[in-house]
Chain A
């Protein structure tokens, strides 16, 4: 792999950019791998990357049924933060944020990380108390954060509507300065390129149709491109994880829902932080192109249709226009949906399963993008060592049996 640098850019400029090396190969699947990762989104590619980098396991294939990063990795609103309430989540997401901070250098690919700061608004007395509690919990865990009064919010976001007579007035906010956004496609492409350089085979248009299980142990996967043997299999397929667990013969506490997002026409810079509100269900940031990136809540019903209902967007846009009245005359340019896998406690499952050598990483619900490198890092450890890292030990499938749930609904379950 040629290293991307100012010199490679100049060299290729001389050749009118006709000689750039392809970023990753498209090999045919080998008959056998040490580890097969099912799902070529950010989390799957990060898992493959850290398997190769941290654990020296390079005989790895990533199988993707569509195209790379075409699922939720390419559909989210690119927000990154780690200000979660509970210790388990805070440590996991903070690990991820720290990995994000060094990722561009690490994988030699500009993921355009922009630590512009993230605000989570509070609209009621209960919200204010919860928000302060979360900020204090974050501080105890060594995570940056502060509580902002409405006047302090106004300094950061001059266009916000602080009118106390609106239905859900802005009473305060948490602020994590290290939070921000990154370019989601670049995360997928950069991790793919870096994994490929370490010998990982990335195989697109290859759908897993079944698991080969012999006496409770995984021996391989059936795919649309034939059988592939594997000593270990890691499943990171987001919305389709119960389709996979049905094939493997065990049940999951997951329901899949559509989650929608949209972007406006591009405009000049108007908002330079990320503003989120769980109470009125909206989040807003502005992309480098100038588009407002807006996120909605999930549809209540189960669905695999990758499209949500219009009334969800109507509610969300109503909230955006109340908070930012000057956005009311903007036009939406694109709107889309993805399928998110939600857990009853709004926390992920990164775990061994009843099948030996089969591991699941799922249940990220509405907030998986921020966890991409951290999720891959702990999942790689879980697969390589056949036991969870201490950062993801609490996120086991067993927690639904033994009752040690990690209830992030109040603090973080809605707005991601």
Chain B
């Protein structure tokens, strides 16, 4: 169990929240033009990162609002919380890029 810092309510127990899986997956603008493989990629394929993972959460038992979160899936350390529609903070992007280079 870990604590999540809801951007609207502050720090609460994980149990108050529900998980919305990987963040930043945009619905294709022209689904009718996609091949089956591209559609499968959108529907099913996931990063499932071991390390810094960008994901969506909703404060189900609180304000019921959605937000994005960066969490280390190996240690469960919550690294950043940011609003829907925003990109992750620069230090998080650097962590993810740094991991790719190594």
Cross-chain contact B44 with A300 (CB below 8 angstroms): no
A255: chain B residues within 8 A (beta carbon): 21, 46, 48
Interface residues of B in 1-53 (CB under 8 A from A): 1-2, 13-15, 18-19, 21-22, 36-37, 40-41, 43-50, 53
Kindly identify which residue among B1, B2, B48, B74 contacts A252, using a CB–CB cutoff of 8 Å: B48
Say which residue of A240, A253, A311, A401 sits within 8 Å of B46 (CB atoms).
A253
Contact of B18 among A240, A251, A300, A402 (CB under 8 A): A300
Choose one: A240, A253, A301, A309; the contact of B44 (CB below 8 Å). A253
**Complex Cα gap A344–B46 (Å):** 10
Decide if A351 is an interface residue (CB 8 Å cutoff): no
| Cβ distance B4 to chain A, nearest Cβ, rounded Å | 10
Known interface pairs A305-B74, A305-B76; A401-B53 also in contact (CB < 8 Å): no
Instruction: Return chain B residues, CB-CB under 8 Å to A400.
Output: 40, 43-45
State A232–B46 Cα separation when bound (angstroms).
Answer: 26
Q: Which of A247-262 contact B (CB under 8 A)?
A: 251-256
In this complex, how many residues of chain B approach chain A with their Cβ under 8 Å: the count is: 28
B45 cross-chain contacts in A, Cβ below 8 A: 251-253, 400
Which one of B2, B48, B75 has the highest number of Cβ atoms from chain A below 10 Å of its Cβ? Answer: B48
Residues of B within 8 A of A402 (CB): 36
A301, B36: Cα distance in complex, Å = 28
Task: Let me know if A76 is at the binding interface, CB within 8 A.
Answer: no
Shortest 7 CB-CB distances between A and B: which pairs?
Answer: A253-B44, A251-B45, A309-B1, A300-B19, A242-B48, A401-B40, A311-B15
Q: Which residues of A contact B (CB under 8 A)?
A: 240, 242-243, 251-256, 300-305, 309-311, 344, 400-403
